Amino acid sequence: MLWWGFASQRVPEGLAPSAANVTPSSIAAAATPAPVDVITVHVAGAVARPGLVSVPVGARIADVIAAAGGAARTADVTSINLAAPVGDGEQVVVPSAGGAATEVPGTLVPTVSAPQGAPTDGRIALNHADAAALELLPGVGPVIAAHIVAHRQANGPFQTVEDLLDVPGIGEGKLAALRDLVLVP
């Protein structure tokens, strides 16, 4: 009833007409934050609801598992790095206790034994490596590693090694030094 009395009042002279149209619902709509950017991740393995989940940009593997309904009772979450960041279009495989996570092409298999994307055959997978793994490359420090990760998050996975030329701080010389040390599946 208080609202009805306010709404039926005349607008004082000199008050802008747009101010007279302010309602509690329009204030609430204006105060609603803009939608948060989200990424889509494929979760497989020992989780309650395997499949596609949407999580905010900057999410960690723990967030992805939670979005998939949590780890299954059979999950071995001690063998994965729950703090590792994930990117759009990646796949996270949660292993079962007593079973190893198997790598599927185009997937991200979390691990705690080495930085994400660390070399297993001497090369680093550009589309799965975190900044720590990228910093293992010669001439790649924290700044360029962050640029590589940011470029991948903004533009999607690298299609070729030559796509590194689009990353700030990487020119032909650095690309030549990195060409045989990185892998783009």
pTM of the full predicted structure? 0.40
Cα 109 from chain centroid (whole Å)? 15
Residue 106: is its pLDDT beyond 80? no
Q: How confident is the model at residue 99 (pLDDT cuts 50, 70, 90)?
A: low
Q: Which residues lie below 8 Å from residue 115, measured CB to CB, with a gap of 6+? A: 129, 130, 132, 133, 136
Mean pLDDT for the stretch of residues 167-175: 92
pLDDT at 75: 85
Give whole-number Cα distances, 156 to 51, 128, 159, in Å.
20, 11, 9
Give whole-number Cα distances, 33 to 27, 29, 57, in Å.
12, 9, 16
Percentages of the chain per state (helix, strand, coil), in multiples of 5: 30, 15, 50
87 closest CA partner among 44, 42, 123: 42
SS3 165: helix
Q: Which residues lie below 8 Å from residue 45, measured CB to CB, with a gap of 6+? A: 75, 92, 93, 94, 95, 96, 101
Residue 108: is its pLDDT beyond 50? no
For domain 124-183, give the CATH superfamily.
Photosystem II 12 kDa extrinsic protein (1.10.150.320)
pLDDT digits (tens, 9 = 90+) for 10-51: 545 554 444 455 555 545 555 555 456 889 888 888 899 998
Residue 115: is its pLDDT beyond 90? no
Distance of alpha carbon 175 from alpha carbon 142, whole angstroms? 17
